Amino acid sequence: MSFGQNVTATKIELFKYKRSSQVATMVQKILDDKRKVLLKNIEEMIAEAQKTRGGIWEPLQDIYQSVNESYLSLGVGTVDSVAQSTPAVMEVESDVKRVVDVTIPVLSVTEKDTKSIPYGFADTNASIDRGAKLIKDLLPKICKAAEYENSIFSLAKALEKTQKLLNALENVIIPQYKQRVRFILATLEEREREEFARLKKVKASMEKRQ
């Protein structure tokens, strides 16, 4: 429907615009509820993301230090060879869940083998062992932080879209419908007054002739 078109002041059009205004108001309420739920979830996820990130930086520093010590003591070639030949012992699986009508990712980390170190001791040292253990312990937290960050981004995009729709309803669509209803009502009332006045004149004329 184009709001730039002229309004036809009829009872059918009046009913149509009243009904459209009611539907738009219902949609506005639904979108406002959705906006509140999205905001609540974003705030909760931001708080959780901050907690998760807070527990990452210090272990990461330890990991970088261990890797650096390994490079210095064993050499780049040896460390890279160990890294390339070592089978993965952890697996990251991706799934999705829905918040309101927004699809957000869910990451889970599982261990394939936790009983043994997946490389030999001949060409390695304690710094590699320490780095491997730290990475193994930290990976679930890193994935959880990534999950929160991605979820916050997706929810924020949905919130922005919802807010734009709300703004359009509140500031343009609903006021336009109400304005048209008022215009049609005023026009119909004016027509009724004119018709009443015309009928009075006709009646007076007929009485005068009699």
Give the residues across from 104 on adjacent strands: 97
pLDDT of residue 81: 76
Query: What does the pLDDT read at residue 185?
Result: 92
pTM of whole model > 0.75? no
Would you state the pLDDT for residue 94?
86
The size of the chain, in residues, is: 210
What pLDDT sits at residue 3?
46
Distances (CA, A) of 205 to 191, 197, 198: 21, 12, 11
User: In 3D, which of 27, 41, 28 has the Cα closest to residue 156?
Assistant: 41
Q: Which residues pair with 108 in a beta bridge?
A: 93
131 vs 42: CA distance, rounded Å? 34
- Domain covering 11-204, topology: Helix Hairpins (1.10.287)
Consecutive 10-residue runs of the chain (210 residues): their mean pLDDT?
64 93 95 95 92 84 85 78 71 86 87 58 69 84 90 94 96 93 91 82 74
Task: Output the pLDDT for position 119.
Answer: 53
What residues contact 110, with CB distance under 8 A and at least 6 apart? 90, 91, 93
Question: For the chain, what are the domain ranges?
Answer: 11-204
160: left (phi over 0), alpha (psi -120 to 50) or beta: alpha
The predicted structure's pLDDT at residue 2:
43
Query: What is the number of other CB atoms lying within 10 angstroms of the CB of residue 165?
Result: 16
